[in-house]
A and B are shown apart, each in its own frame.
Chain A
Amino acid sequence: MEWETVIGLEIHVQLSTRSKIFSGSSTQYGAEPNTQASLVDLAMPGALPVFNENALRKAVAFGLAIDAHIGKRSVFDRKNYFYPDLPKGYQITQMDDPIVGLGEVEIVLDDGSTRTIGVTRAHLEEDAGKSLHEDFEGMTGIDLNRAGTPLLEIVSEPDMRSAKEAVAYLKKIHSIVTYIGISDGNMAEGSLRCDANVSVRPKGQTEFGTRTEIKNINSFKFVEKAINVEVQRHIDVIEDGGTVTQETRLYDADKNETRSMRSKEFANDYRYFPEPDLLPVEIDDAYIQDVKDRLPELPDAKIQRFKADYGLSDYDATVLAASRAMADYFEAVVDVTKDAKLAANWCMGELAGQLNRYEQDIADSPVSAADLGLLIQRIQDNTVSNKIAKTVFEAMFRGEGSADEIIEAQGLKQVSDSGAIEAMIDEVIANNPGQVADYRSGKDKLFGFFVGQVMKASKGQANPAQVNDILKSKLQG
């Protein structure tokens, strides 16, 4: 039987506010346990939450970025359950009246086709603390530094039909939240986490199959693998005559398998009800307009502009606009070089390659956009060839200096003196009489051999265009 996969994602995005959503504690990652836990975060008797308006602003920005309905009156609710890293015994979240309502995003698939994925809602809530089971023999350590960190939970419609689509959607959300600066999007530190709801059904059937929820997947790669392995598990269960149990599962990356966490049958009754310690959040059109006015250019608009203004291909524009940092870098390089195609090739080629090689983020690139621009200018003014420029760039990346300093220090300046080039060519011709004869008798392919010999003699520094011209005329003799 042919199966169709149905996927919906719940993405938890940590909002990059300086203080927590309901207390003044810092949200800084990586502090000593419980040093960023205030009376409110510790759920001291009599402590009360106060809503951080910055979190509201960021949530509204997201809503506007996906063209969603913005809740002018949103309400916080209590979600009740006991867990040691949930100090109050309830999580403050939003149930019936979320800040962001129905919206949508467009994703581009590998074959260039696009799909629209619905966003059901996005609501504000507080993160829990962390339970630390290692290092405490027979005990559990509780770190409440993370408790109260603002989260935006973004819930999609069950609109995705493959793991690849899910990843494309997740990347799109990642790109949006980092673009508009509401989250650092750092998945390794848990700033963006994802739960995947997965089910399968016979192709053509309209009802959904029974779904399972894979919790807390924290990388793009694992999202794809976890969904694929879970989809296969569903198919295997059904084809073996069994039924899929609705439950929460955990993905084990080491074993590349999912396993049951808890069955929904034993799930908590969360007893949601409106949080009496907080008033409903009311915003007006002026507030929404103000957030809108401060929104930066969004990825889709940027891609269109890159194509229109710089004449970039669809592919180049999409790659360069994927992250705001890369897009900004690229535009800074164009500023210096005035050649968008060359700038695009360097950003996507050498720059991306070196960053990848040293596992560095573009924000930490040792070569600034201005420095790369200057190097490209040295190609444009024929000081170095494209090939030599790559060597220079690697040296720049290692911190050996500016383009000009490295070219100077290593004597990499291109030889454009036609007398010198002629002399080298004469020598090559003189040293290879057999090849010269073959060439002249019609073996055109040998031309490359002569170019290689001349470049070798010049240590790569001869101006390639000049070498071509002179060599051609001399060989024709």
Chain B
Amino acid sequence: MLDKTLTQLAAGLARGDFSSVELTQAYLDRIRQHNADLNAYITVTDDIALAQAATADEQRAAGNAGPLTGLPIAHKDIFCTQGVRTSCGSRMLDNFIAPYESTVTARLAGAGAVMLGKTNLDEFAMGSSTESSYYGPTRNPWNRDTVPGGSSGGSATAVAARLAAAATGTDTGGSIRQPAAFTGITGLKPTYGRVSRWGMIAYGSSLDCGGPMTQTAEDAALMLNAIAGFDPKDSTSMDRPADDYQARLNEPLAGLRIGLPKEYFGDGLNDGIRAAVMAAVSELEKLGATVKEISLPRTELSIPAYYIIAPAEASTNLSRYDGVRYGYRCKDPVDLEDLYKRTRAEGFGAEVQRRILVGTYALSAGYYDAYYKKAQQLRRLIRDDFQTGFQEVDVILAPTTPSPAWTLGEKSNDPVAMYLEDIYTLSTNLAGLPALALPCGQVGGLPVGLQLIGNYFEESHLLNIGHQYQQATDWHLQAPVL
């Protein structure tokens, strides 16, 4: 039962092959069996899950089932869930019971989904390995000595290890796509503004994007249908109707123009990944696509631009964690300054403090023009590069990461080395474009992936291409043996 995709499970529930309570219980059992080892979940919400599952079964019996009714999913612990601890992987929020529900989780619950629990992440989503979590690292189920990627590593491991039928993630610089690649699952980063950020704890506000992490593109479409759309509570959410993301899944790919950006296939790319991506390109050509090389010349500059803008925004987004109203407060502060300093020094981990310092520096008087302003200029150039590219091709195809999952601890003491691993994912966030990450092979027993980058609001098309590719291949069906 747990080997099935979200779409298949939906069909099984509809047919009455099993109930939501049975399905949910099976996941909870599997979580109990494997979570201690994998550390995918920070919090497992058994009681809520079973209650929601029972309600879902009642709704189905009453003929009121929606597309996600009774399907057990997991939420990255960055989404506020009312009455449930929402930690963001930080000691700072270890005691924080969210008093309200995020739009993403509310919409999924409204569509009938069952919440299994809250998944692990890099502290405040700052990281590419899920090692910086206050709750310890999440393991990659394909090889427990390796990282699952990050920051949505808990959700990635949960889906890959079949500890959830699907999960939510967030992507600020690749945090959905890179862990999807490292764990062999499908992950969609939607267009900025397509999914509401209300209740999604902010890291880099102008970059943060919630999205689905699933086994297949088809599953991602199902989930995106529930969460996409305008939200008046988020001023940056786009006031235009969402598509039916399942509608185009089965369109043929004949005539599809794919661009391969040469900057994504340079020296830094692992040979195995290059071969896997090129094999996928051949598959797509067989399905009717034409392929040409394009150039995104400012790709390298995405690293400095991102590592200025994201920390700059983070440095002020995280100012609210001051020990005054909620969250961690240091013991016996002697005065206000002591309260601030010790609360934040004790409540935040090293990577978060590093990024707050970098961001504070970048925004400081005298440095603003040299750093933040210049980074914003780069951002515009990167966006322009993509628009030039999209005049020639419909979608851009590239590896998701330059290398497969690394060993736990390998890059922990070298933050810059870890930042460089984000080279293929940062540009899309800076440009605000949608990108779909798909598994496309294995290197040394570890999954590797490609990403399809589309123009704004082209999610339907990306999912169509992903689905057609997955109809012709089976990388997405590979699961680790636990």
Give chain A's interface residues, CB within 8 Å of chain B. 39, 42-51, 78, 80, 82, 84, 87-90, 142, 269, 271-273, 276-279
B contact residues around A80 at 8 Å (CB): 316, 319, 363
Complex CA gap A277/B201 in Å reads 12
Q: Could you pull out 5 A-B pairs where Cβ atoms are within 8 angstroms?
A: A42-B326, A45-B320, A47-B199, A50-B232, A279-B235
Tell me whether chain A's interface is mostly helix, strand or loop, or mixed. loop
| 7 further interface pairs, Cβ-Cβ under 8 Å (given A39-B100, A88-B320, A277-B202) | A42-B325, A44-B99, A46-B98, A46-B198, A80-B319, A87-B325, A89-B319
Complex CA gap A210/B197 in Å reads 46
B217-237 interface code vs A (CB 8 A; 1 in, 0 out): 000000000000000111110
Question: Per a CB cutoff under 8 Å, which of B80, B232, B233 touches A45?
Answer: B80
What's the nearest-Cβ distance from chain B to residue A89, in Å? 2
Complex CA gap A401/B336 in Å reads 59
A271 contacts B363, C-beta separation under 8 Å: yes
B contact residues around A273 at 8 Å (CB): 312, 316, 363, 368, 372
Give chain B's interface residues, CB within 8 Å of chain A. 79-80, 86, 88, 93, 96, 98-100, 102, 197-202, 204-206, 232-236, 312-313, 315-316, 319-320, 322, 324-326, 336, 340, 360, 363-365, 368, 372
Which residue of B79, B315, B324, B365 has the most chain A CB atoms within 10 A of its CB atom? B324
Question: Per a CB cutoff under 8 Å, which of A89, A142, A277 touches B320?
Answer: A89
B316 contacts A89, C-beta separation under 8 Å: yes
Q: A51-B235, A271-B316 are in contact. Are A46 and B201 (CB under 8 A)?
A: yes
What's the nearest-Cβ distance from chain A to residue B473, in Å? 38
A82 contacts B360, C-beta separation under 8 Å: no
Question: Per a CB cutoff under 8 Å, which of A43, A44, A50, A276 touches B100?
Answer: A44
B319 contacts A90, C-beta separation under 8 Å: yes
B contact residues around A48 at 8 Å (CB): 197-198, 233-235
A contact residues around B93 at 8 Å (CB): 45
Q: Report the nearest B residue to A278, measured CB to CB.
A: B235
Q: A46-B80, A273-B312 are in contact. Are A89 and B322 (CB under 8 A)?
A: yes
Question: Per a CB cutoff under 8 Å, which of B232, B235, B326 touches A44?
Answer: B326
Complex CA gap A84/B204 in Å reads 23
Complex CA gap A88/B320 in Å reads 4
Question: Per a CB cutoff under 8 Å, which of B99, B312, B316, B368 touches A90?
Answer: B316
B368 contacts A82, C-beta separation under 8 Å: no
B202 contacts A269, C-beta separation under 8 Å: no
Q: Report the nearest A residue to B366, measured CB to CB.
A: A269
Which residue of B204, B234, B320, B326 has the most chain A CB atoms within 10 A of its CB atom? B320
What's the nearest-Cβ distance from chain B to residue A97, in Å? 15
B contact residues around A271 at 8 Å (CB): 315-316, 360, 363-365, 368
Q: Report the nearest A residue to B327, measured CB to CB.
A: A45
B contact residues around A50 at 8 Å (CB): 232-235
B contact residues around A89 at 8 Å (CB): 316, 319-320, 322
Complex CA gap A50/B313 in Å reads 18
What's the nearest-Cβ distance from chain B to residue A148, in Å? 14
B202 contacts A46, C-beta separation under 8 Å: yes
A contact residues around B340 at 8 Å (CB): 82
Q: Report the nearest B residue to A88, measured CB to CB.
A: B320
Complex CA gap A87/B206 in Å reads 21
Complex CA gap A82/B336 in Å reads 10
Q: A269-B364, A273-B372 are in contact. Are A45 and B316 (CB under 8 A)?
A: no
A contact residues around B200 at 8 Å (CB): 46
What's the nearest-Cβ distance from chain A to residue B292, in Å? 35
What's the nearest-Cβ distance from chain A to residue B326, in Å? 7
B320 contacts A276, C-beta separation under 8 Å: no
B96 contacts A45, C-beta separation under 8 Å: yes
Q: A45-B93, A46-B200, A50-B235 are in contact. Are A84 and B336 (CB under 8 A)?
A: yes
What's the nearest-Cβ distance from chain B to residue A85, in Å? 9
A276 contacts B313, C-beta separation under 8 Å: yes
Complex CA gap A271/B325 in Å reads 23
Q: Report the nearest A residue to B200, measured CB to CB.
A: A46
Complex CA gap A42/B86 in Å reads 16
Complex CA gap A47/B100 in Å reads 10
Complex CA gap A42/B322 in Å reads 12
Question: Per a CB cutoff under 8 Å, which of B88, B205, B336 touches A276?
Answer: B205
A45 contacts B313, C-beta separation under 8 Å: no
B235 contacts A276, C-beta separation under 8 Å: no
B contact residues around A84 at 8 Å (CB): 322, 324, 336
Complex CA gap A379/B167 in Å reads 84
What's the nearest-Cβ distance from chain A to residue B251, in Å? 34
B contact residues around A142 at 8 Å (CB): 324-325
A82 contacts B322, C-beta separation under 8 Å: yes
Complex CA gap A80/B324 in Å reads 17
Which residue of A48, A84, A89, A142 has the most chain B CB atoms within 10 A of its CB atom? A48
What's the nearest-Cβ distance from chain A to residue B213, in Å? 19
Q: Report the nearest B residue to A50, measured CB to CB.
A: B235
B contact residues around A269 at 8 Å (CB): 364-365
The 7 closest A-B pairs by CB, nearest first: A89-B319, A276-B205, A271-B363, A276-B206, A43-B320, A46-B199, A45-B201
Q: A82-B322, A87-B320, A273-B363 are in contact. Are A46 and B235 (CB under 8 A)?
A: no
A279 contacts B236, C-beta separation under 8 Å: yes
A contact residues around B316 at 8 Å (CB): 78, 80, 89-90, 271, 273
Which residue of B200, B202, B316 has the most chain A CB atoms within 10 A of its CB atom? B316
Complex CA gap A80/B320 in Å reads 11
A contact residues around B205 at 8 Å (CB): 276-277
Q: Report the nearest B residue to A140, measured CB to CB.
A: B336
What's the nearest-Cβ distance from chain B to residue A143, in Å? 12
B contact residues around A277 at 8 Å (CB): 202, 205, 235-236
Complex CA gap A50/B99 in Å reads 19
Q: A78-B316, A87-B320 are in contact. Are A45 and B88 (CB under 8 A)?
A: yes
A contact residues around B234 at 8 Å (CB): 48, 50
Which residue of A88, A90, A271, A277 has the most chain B CB atoms within 10 A of its CB atom? A271
A contact residues around B197 at 8 Å (CB): 46, 48
Q: Report the nearest A residue to B324, measured CB to CB.
A: A84
A82 contacts B80, C-beta separation under 8 Å: no
Complex CA gap A88/B319 in Å reads 6
A contact residues around B372 at 8 Å (CB): 273
Q: A84-B336, A87-B325 are in contact. Are A49 and B235 (CB under 8 A)?
A: yes
Q: Report the nearest A residue to B313, measured CB to CB.
A: A276
B contact residues around A276 at 8 Å (CB): 204-206, 236, 313
B contact residues around A87 at 8 Å (CB): 320, 324-325
What's the nearest-Cβ distance from chain A to residue B250, in Å? 36
Q: Report the nearest A residue to B234, measured CB to CB.
A: A48
What's the nearest-Cβ distance from chain B to residue A21, in Å? 12
A contact residues around B364 at 8 Å (CB): 269, 271
B contact residues around A47 at 8 Å (CB): 198-199
Complex CA gap A48/B98 in Å reads 15
